[in-house]
Amino acid sequence: MPLPYHRLVVKIGSNVLTQADGTPDLARIAHLVEQIAALKQPGREVIVVSSGAVAAGRSLVQVPEKADAVSSRQLLAAVGQVKLLTTYAELLARYQLTCAQVLVTKEDFRDRQHYRNMQNCFRALLQNNIIPIVNENDVISVTELMFTDNDELAGLLAAMLDADALLILSNVDGIYNGDPKDASSHVIREIGPDTPDFSAFVTTQRSQFGRGGMITKCHMAHKVAQLGIAVHIANGKTENVLPRVLSGEVVNTRFLPSRTASGRKKWLAHAEPAAKGTVRLNAGACAALTTPGKATSLLPVGVVAVEGEFEKGDIIRLLAEDGRAVGLGMAEYDATKARERLGQQQQKPLVHYDYLFLNADI
């Protein structure tokens, strides 16, 4: 039975879009666009996160070998993004489909107002049957502004847009239980919320032309699945891979969604870089917050330490006394008041349940 996904985020990796020499594989892109058009036919909404701008720029501009790596990447991305989007636009036009370019940085996800503005833009595009083609803005994204890779960007978008599923197209068939080159290894078909730690057998090798690796894909996929969004990792070079993933006809790894979450919690799940301070919780508070089926706010009586300075409305990290990450929350009042009320009963919650995101593995 076909999977009942309506809104899809499709992430296409660098190794899928490039040839051995690092230049764009135009035939592969054309085939992927054909598949995207097919996905749209039943009325699905599709958001595409596409790498390949730097590769496209490499096919147009020769950069001296001794040139600065950061400025070279900026130059290639600036030139290549135009070619990449033009390629998508021309190919989609064959199916009477229109696309739009959306370039983002990590900073766009840190501020709640920026987040809402971007969310509204995507919704308007989808309502008008336009396919957003999203990429990191490599022209200005350097050092701390950079996403880990486009997998992280795709996960953020899937959460922001309440997608039903995120499809990550890589150059392997999925997550293996050993070295993919070993004949005895096989693809893990499903990874659930309680699947044991998989980092021990996932290869640490990074993509040839991308920044990411399989471990970062796994951690991102696990977090997105926590938010009620299914994640599939499949081989983008497989013939008709997208419709075949949805029909269950091709080998891939599916991260099973574990629960649903509000829009605020989906934002909080990825807001750790924006955290302004830290509070440490005693064992009682940790137990109360993580009791299954019980909605509990964080009260000052469960706080043993307040670190850093933050204001009302800022994101704060929640840690157990032993340093384990418990989650993230939005402060109901500033650090000074939090210290004054430290350990006290009958006080207003420091973090209300509606603005609290808890890690699944605590």
**Residue numbers belonging to the annotated binding site for substrate:** 51, 138, 150
Binding-site residues sit at 11, 51, 138, 150
Q: Helix, strand or coil for residue 77?
A: helix
Q: Which residues are annotated binding-site positions for ATP?
A: 11
CA distance 331 to 356: 9
What does the longest C-alpha to C-alpha distance in the chain come to? 67
Q: What 3-state DSSP class applies to 12? A: strand
* Beta-bridge partner residues of 280: 305, 319
Q: Strands, DSSP E only, in the chain?
A: 7-12, 45-50, 98-104, 130-136, 165-170, 190-191, 230-235, 253-255, 277-281, 303-307, 315-320, 325-330, 356-358
Helix (H) or strand (E) holding 323: none
* Cα-based distances in Å from 208 to 10, 18, 69, 71, 213: 20, 10, 16, 20, 10
Classify residue 106 by burial, with Cβ atoms within 10 Å: 0-12, 13-18, 19+.
buried
Beta bridge partners of 279: 306, 318
Helix (H, G, I), strand (E, B) or coil at 130: strand
Distance CA 158, CA 326 (A): 23
